[in-house]
């Protein structure tokens, strides 16, 4: 690469993660590829998912908008597409054309969808998220319409699946109650597990795999290590090049607002990445990068296009590659994980992951 900074996506690592998650789930997966596959590039990753052999073959791909479903079709995906977010009635026609299965929960929308076509739909049940879906306590209001138009699937979403606060068990109990009250056909697919729910099942070992009929992993596919015993491969690696090196004297300051002052004669490297690329400004004076196998601290405020590092204790030259996230080139140890870097800047790993789409080119490789 001759770019100043870039993202490297490990396709072999992605496949390994799918295999691991499928084994833990014990049921077919619906990989979530919303937000351009969490910023990693839905077009390239869709080709990977399409080529996966059984039993890792996805039951469907999950999206959050109609446009994302249309994009999957443009990329050549011919399998099912499940839109897990609510949609507006005026979007139904476009969804039917793109063969996108909607998540519905309002009686009028269900009736309109089913009377216009026999296309499948899934019922969203709110068991505590208070974000979307029919409240589990009001499920009886849908019985007249579901008796006429049975959904292909019914699902809920956990708000704190990895927490040890008992909330997941509460939500599962509510979901089971709603499913019983609906009295749906036995073939109706039930799904609830997201990445963190699968991690919790792997960690507890008391929860059986296959608790539901499908599982919907998202960030775990892309290597977030917060998924505990899932032992996932890092998929995203971010690199940048040193574009300048200078010596500074005691008392010299670095960066906007002079927030870092040299307390010894120091060597400062400028790397070609900043918050305009997704490297968050809140990492200023608190994060590390890796250069020649050594952690080097970020010094001063991160600029839109540049970040400065204290490389006093490591050899450094213009053109050297630093690791911003993930593994150093050629190594298989996740030195800077998504979760680690996110915690340094007070973000969720999800927010950090999708933020690299701003202008960094992506390179897809088989590196694991």
Place of tokens 């919907």: 216
Distance CA 335, CA 343 (A): 14
* Count of other CB atoms within 10 angstroms of residue 358: 12
Q: Does residue 287 have a cis peptide bond before it, meaning omega lies within 30 degrees of 0?
A: no
**First-last CA distance in the chain:** 19
Distance CA 301, CA 304 (A): 10
Distance CA 355, CA 339 (A): 14
CA distances from 146 to 2, 87, 156, 180, 192 (A): 57, 18, 17, 13, 20
Q: What is the 3-state secondary structure (H, E, C) of 145-199?
A: HHHHCCCCEEECCCCCCCCCCCHHHHHHHHHHHHHHHHCCCCCCEEEEECHHHHH
Q: Which of 6, 61, 1 is nearest to 272 (CA)?
A: 6
Tokens linked to 365: 């490789």
Q: Are 233 and 258 in contact (CB under 8 A)?
A: no
> 3-state class of 22 per DSSP?
helix
The residues carrying an active-site annotation are 34, 256
Q: Are 101 and 122 in contact (CB under 8 A)?
A: yes
Tokens linked to 295: 């952690």
Contacts of 264 (CB under 8 A, 6+ apart): 250, 312
Q: Are 291 and 335 in contact (CB under 8 A)?
A: no
Q: Where are the beta strands (DSSP E) in the chain?
A: 5-10, 60-63, 80-83, 100-101, 103-104, 122-126, 134-135, 153-155, 189-193, 214-215, 236-248, 253-254, 260-261, 266-271, 288-291, 294-299, 307-310, 321-325, 362-365
């Amino acid at each position: 690469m001759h770019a100043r900074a870039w993202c490297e996506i490990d396709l072999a690592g992605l496949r390994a993660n799918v295999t691991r998650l499928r084994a833990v789930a014990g049921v077919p997966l619906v990989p979530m590829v919303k937000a351009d596959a969490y910023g990693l590039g839905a077009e390239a990753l869709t080709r990977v998912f399409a080529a996966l052999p059984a039993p890792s073959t996805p039951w469907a791909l999950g999206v959050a908008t109609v446009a994302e479903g249309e994009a999957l079709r443009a990329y050549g995906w011919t399998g099912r597409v499940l839109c897990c977010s609510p949609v507006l009635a005026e979007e139904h026609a476009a969804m039917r054309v793109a063969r996108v299965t909607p998540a519905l929960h309002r009686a009028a929308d269900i009736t309109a969808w089913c009377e216009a076509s026999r296309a499948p739909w899934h019922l969203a049940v709110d068991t505590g998220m208070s974000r979307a879906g029919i409240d589990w306590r009001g499920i009886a209001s849908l019985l007249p319409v579901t008796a006429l138009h049975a959904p292909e699937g019914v699902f809920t979403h956990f708000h704190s699946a990895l927490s040890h606060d008992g909330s997941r068990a509460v939500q599962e109990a509510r979901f089971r109650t709603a499913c019983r009250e609906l009295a749906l056909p036995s073939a109706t697919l039930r799904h609830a597990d997201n990445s963190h729910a699968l991690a919790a099942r792997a960690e507890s070992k008391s929860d059986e795999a296959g608790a539901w009929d499908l599982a919907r992993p998202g960030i775990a596919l892309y290597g977030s290590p917060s998924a505990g015993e899932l032992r996932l491969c890092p998929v995203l690696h971010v690199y940048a090049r040193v574009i300048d090196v200078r010596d500074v004297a005691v008392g010299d300051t670095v960066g906007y607002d002079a927030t870092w002052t040299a307390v010894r004669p120091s060597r400062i490297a400028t790397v070609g990445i900043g918050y305009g690329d997704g490297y968050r400004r809140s990492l200023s004076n608190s994060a590390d990068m890796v250069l020649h196998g050594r952690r080097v601290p970020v010094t001063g405020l991160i600029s839109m296009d540049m970040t400065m590092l204290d490389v006093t204790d490591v050899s450094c030259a213009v053109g050297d590659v630093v690791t911003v996230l993930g593994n150093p080139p050629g190594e298989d140890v996740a030195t800077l994980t998504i979760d680690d870097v996110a915690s340094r800047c007070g973000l969720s790993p999800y927010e950090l992951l999708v933020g690299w789409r701003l202008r960094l080119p992506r390179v897809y490789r088989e590196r694991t």
